[in-house]
Amino acid sequence: MDLMIKSLVGFFVGTLIGMTGVGGGVLLLPILIFGLHVPPLRAVGSDALFNFVTKIGASAVHLKRGTVRRKVVLALIVGSAPGSYVGVSFLHYLRATRGNGVNHFITVAVGVLLVVIPGFLFFQKKLEDRAAVRPSTIKSFAWMGLIGLVAGFLVGITSVGSGSIVMMLLLLFYSFQPKVMVGTDIVHALLLTGVTSILHFKINNNIDPHLVGALLLGSVPGGLLGSYLSTRVPVPWLRRILCAVLLATGTRMLMA
């Protein structure tokens, strides 16, 4: 029964990802914490591994199609890998000094991101249109590394934002073709969540392989179903409703 419930959660999340394109981290983590009552620290590590596995297929497709700026990925991961290390190490420090207080910190941090990220998703189309008609403003390797550093730290402490935070920052400062932006973002997210998963396993030992396996068991067919339904349902309206629910969830986490 426990396996079935977790697989159904994975199926539900996978379907929503396939239909709306909203990232798995921002969808799954609140369900793990509030729905399945997984301790926040363990939920973060398991969510990072789940996100890594779910991005493998899409990354391979984008690399094959040539829609990935490899130099941008390199610049981002140069910043995001150490950023993730700092984030995971900070959680380890909090657990050692504050005990269960680390779970409250994670809940607040995730609540903030659940307010910020859906807010960005509401205006993502406008940012994409703006990026398409203006030249890139900042192209330095160091600046991209700084973007990665910020994203890596946030993913290290919450597992949320490996795609959405980076996408938001890239849209603010750069102008690539949409398919290149998406491909570059996904491949970097694959590397970042992979690094973060290893760090959570080695530093905090807070990944639940059985939980991740059960979630993936449901998310794979869910993703296929969601992709099929995406052309048959009013996705923009569903995306707005989903963002509103995430905003409400984030607000609740901040008030808890």
**pLDDT digits over 61-91, tens only?**
889 888 888 999 999 999 999 999 999 999 9
∠ CA 103-104-107, nearest 5°, is 85
Cα–Cα distance between 159 and 29 in angstroms, integer?
A: 8
Domain total of the chain: 1
What's the pLDDT score for residue 130? 63
Give the least confident one: 15-24, 49-58, 84-93, 124-133: 124-133
Cα–Cα distance between 122 and 119 in angstroms, integer?
A: 5
Q: For a pLDDT cut of 90, what percent of the chain falls above it?
A: 37
Instruction: Find all residues with CB under 8 Å of 125, minimum gap 6, and list them.
Output: none
More confident residue, 188 or 18: 188
CB atoms within 10 A of CB 35: 12
Residue 128: exposed, middle, or buried by beta-carbon count in 10 A (0-12, 13-18, 19+)?
middle
Instruction: Give 3's Cβ-side CA count (13 Å radius).
Output: 5
∠ CA 40-87-90, nearest 5°, is 80
Cα–Cα distance between 245 and 141 in angstroms, integer?
A: 37
Confidence bin at 193 (pLDDT 50/70/90): very high
Confidence bin at 241 (pLDDT 50/70/90): confident
- Tokens found for residue 143: 């600046």
Give the least confident one: 73-77, 176-180, 191-195: 176-180
State how far Cα 193 lies from the chain centre.
Answer: 8
User: Domain limits at 73?
Assistant: 2-255
Instruction: Find all residues with CB under 8 Å of 97, minimum gap 6, and list them.
Output: none
- Whether the CB-CB separation of 148 and 83 falls below 8 Å is answered with yes
Cα–Cα distance between 233 and 170 in angstroms, integer?
A: 29
Specify the residue for token string 């970097």: 188
The end-to-end CA distance of the chain, in Å, is 30
pLDDT > 80? residue 231: no
Q: For a pLDDT cut of 70, what percent of the chain falls above it?
A: 92
Confidence bin at 166 (pLDDT 50/70/90): confident
pLDDT > 70? residue 189: yes
Instruction: Find all residues with CB under 8 Å of 90, minimum gap 6, and list them.
Output: 156, 157
- Whether the CB-CB separation of 36 and 13 falls below 8 Å is answered with no
What's the pLDDT score for residue 134? 55
pLDDT tens digit sequence for 111-164:
888 888 887 777 766 666 665 555 554 567 888 899 999 999 999 999 987 777
Confidence bin at 224 (pLDDT 50/70/90): confident
